[in-house]
């Protein structure tokens, strides 16, 4: 229980306007929990103004970990003081899509949320999220480690949908946080060469440290020519695209070998049209798939990978801010250069 009545939140208006505001600590009902936020990551999706415009003003943050401050009536699985990761979306478990295991397509999925968000001193967790996607942080998994559960789970879902054959040559377009997650996960598979492309040499250096066998900077090298050079005259057997831009999708399709797999990992703005040579696409037999968000199976898997020290959260976290640093974290993310994941500490970095 907390004796405080109000809490501080970071209220998002637009990318260059995030204000510290006070609001009441949410009250919890039966089956719910109140979490004192320890730390929460900033997601690339939280810089997409076209997506956030209709939703603002809004408290962002959906990659939180914290300590349970209060449990509602009937909560058996958790107690005050437990260290947890909380997912912001859960499916209904009973619709057409849920029965097919396509949980992120469930109509209910995007409607569920934590209140008000992770960039707040406390947040309320609705009963259905307490039940299906609130995870106790395993021993040895830190609060910081836990912040990568949700975003890495999104890439894990992408890798599950695009499983490489043994020895496959992989290309990853974009070496930001998501690209590095694909990289870390794909190095755990039987994939062969893993080639990472980005405009930032700093990011490419990090990619080599995290297991990329080759890196390419399309600003300086012709990516298709270089890929063919590396891969015996062929393109990549699987291409993972982390950028939601038509230019990146064009490049991805260009780099994908006939019979290969093309994974679309981020959305362009609504209404954008992707012109492709349909005849060439038909004869290429390239398999295209996309993946939105992640669900309870993926979050649990990433927690298990973290507990087993098979993935490295520390290498992905580059910047830390207090609640008043959200604006700076957003601008850093948009620069897409010398940063990967930024974390926000609502109670201060040294608290």
Given the rule CB under 5 A, which of 45-53, 176-184, 190-198, 236-244 is the region that contacts Zn ion?
45-53
Least distance (Å) between residue 246 CB and Zn ion: 21
Least distance (Å) between residue 40 CB and Zn ion: 11
CB atoms within 10 A of CB 156: 24
Contact between 91 and Zn ion per CB under 5 A = yes
Least distance (Å) between residue 43 CB and Zn ion: 3
Given the rule CB under 5 A, which of 87-95, 166-174, 179-187, 261-269 is the region that contacts Zn ion?
87-95
Given the rule CB under 5 A, which of 94-102, 264-272, 314-322, 325-333 is the region that contacts Zn ion?
94-102
Contact between 127 and Zn ion per CB under 5 A = no
Contact between 92 and Zn ion per CB under 5 A = yes
- Please name the residues in contact with 137: beta carbons below 8 A apart, sequence gap of 6 or more: 65, 83, 84, 85, 143, 145, 146, 303
Least distance (Å) between residue 103 CB and Zn ion: 7
Look at residues 7, 41, 35, 283 and name the one whose alpha carbon lies nearest to residue 153: 41
CB atoms within 10 A of CB 333: 21
Contact between 60 and Zn ion per CB under 5 A = no
CB nearer to Zn ion: give 104 or 284. 104
Q: Enter the DSSP assignment of 120.
A: B
CA-CA distance, 249 to 247, in Å (whole number)? 6
Given the rule CB under 5 A, which of 28-36, 101-109, 126-134, 279-287 is the region that contacts Zn ion?
101-109
Per DSSP, helices labelled H in the chain are 49-52, 96-99, 127-133, 143-146, 149-161, 177-186, 201-209, 223-230, 246-255, 278-284, 296-307, 326-335
209 Rama sector, left if φ>0, alpha if ψ -120 to 50, beta otherwise: alpha
Least distance (Å) between residue 17 CB and Zn ion: 21
Least distance (Å) between residue 335 CB and Zn ion: 19
Contact between 45 and Zn ion per CB under 5 A = yes
Token pair in block for residue 65: 């970990």
Least distance (Å) between residue 224 CB and Zn ion: 31
Contact between 43 and Zn ion per CB under 5 A = yes
Q: What 3-state DSSP class applies to 262?
A: strand
Least distance (Å) between residue 102 CB and Zn ion: 9
Q: Annotate each residue in 190-209 with x if it binds Zn ion (CB under 5 A) or - if it does not, as one string.
A: --------------------
Token pair in block for residue 214: 């080759």
Contact between 106 and Zn ion per CB under 5 A = yes
Given the rule CB under 5 A, which of 102-110, 124-132, 165-173, 261-269 is the region that contacts Zn ion?
102-110
Contact between 95 and Zn ion per CB under 5 A = yes
What one-character-per-residue DSSP string does 37-71 give?
Answer: EEEEEPPGGGG-HHHHTTT-SEE---SEEEEEEEE
Given the rule CB under 5 A, which of 77-85, 96-104, 243-251, 315-323 is the region that contacts Zn ion?
96-104
Contact between 98 and Zn ion per CB under 5 A = yes
CB nearer to Zn ion: give 129 or 253. 129
Alpha carbon 52 to its chain centroid, in Å, reads 17
Q: Enter the DSSP assignment of 213.
A: S
CB nearer to Zn ion: give 102 or 228. 102
Token pair in block for residue 351: 């608290």
Residues that bind Zn ion (CB under 5 A): 43, 45, 91-92, 95, 98, 106
């Amino acid at each position: 229980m907390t004796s405080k009545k109000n809490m501080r939140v970071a209220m998002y208006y637009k990318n260059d306007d995030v204000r510290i505001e006070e609001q009441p600590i949410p009250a919890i009902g039966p089956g719910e929990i109140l979490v004192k936020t320890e730390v929460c990551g900033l997601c690339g999706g939280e810089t997409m103004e076209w997506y956030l415009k209709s939703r603002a003003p809004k408290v962002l943050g959906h990659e939180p970990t914290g300590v349970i401050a209060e449990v509602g009536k009937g909560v058996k699985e958790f107690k005050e003081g437990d260290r947890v990761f909380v997912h912001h979306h859960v499916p209904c478990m009973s619709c057409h899509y849920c029965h097919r295991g396509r949980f992120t397509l469930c109509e209910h999925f995007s409607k569920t949320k934590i209140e008000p968000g992770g960039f707040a001193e406390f947040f309320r967790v609705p009963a259905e999220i307490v039940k299906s996607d609130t995870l106790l942080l395993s021993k040895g998994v830190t609060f910081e480690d836990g912040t990568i559960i949700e975003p890495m789970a999104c890439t894990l879902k992408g890798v599950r949908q695009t499983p490489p054959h043994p020895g496959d040559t992989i290309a990853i377009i974009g070496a930001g946080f998501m690209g590095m997650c694909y990289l870390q996960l794909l190095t755990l598979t039987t994939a062969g060469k893993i080639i990472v492309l980005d405009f930032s040499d700093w990011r490419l250096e990090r990619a080599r440290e995290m297991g990329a066998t080759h890196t390419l900077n399309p600003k300086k090298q012709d990516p298709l020519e270089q890929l063919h050079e590396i891969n015996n005259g062929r393109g990549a057997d699987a291409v993972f695209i982390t950028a939601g831009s038509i230019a990146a999708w064009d490049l991805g399709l260009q780099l994908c070998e006939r019979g290969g797999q093309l994974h679309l990992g981020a959305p362009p703005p609504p209404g954008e049209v992707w012109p492709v040579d349909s005849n060439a696409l038909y004869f290429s037999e390239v398999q295209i798939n996309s993946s939105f968000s992640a669900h309870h199976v993926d979050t649990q898997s990433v927690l298990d990978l973290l507990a087993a020290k098979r993935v490295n959260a520390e290498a992905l976290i580059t910047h830390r801010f207090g609640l008043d640093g959200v604006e700076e974290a957003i601008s850093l993310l948009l620069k897409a250069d010398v940063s990967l994941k930024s974390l926000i500490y609502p109670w201060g970095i040294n608290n």
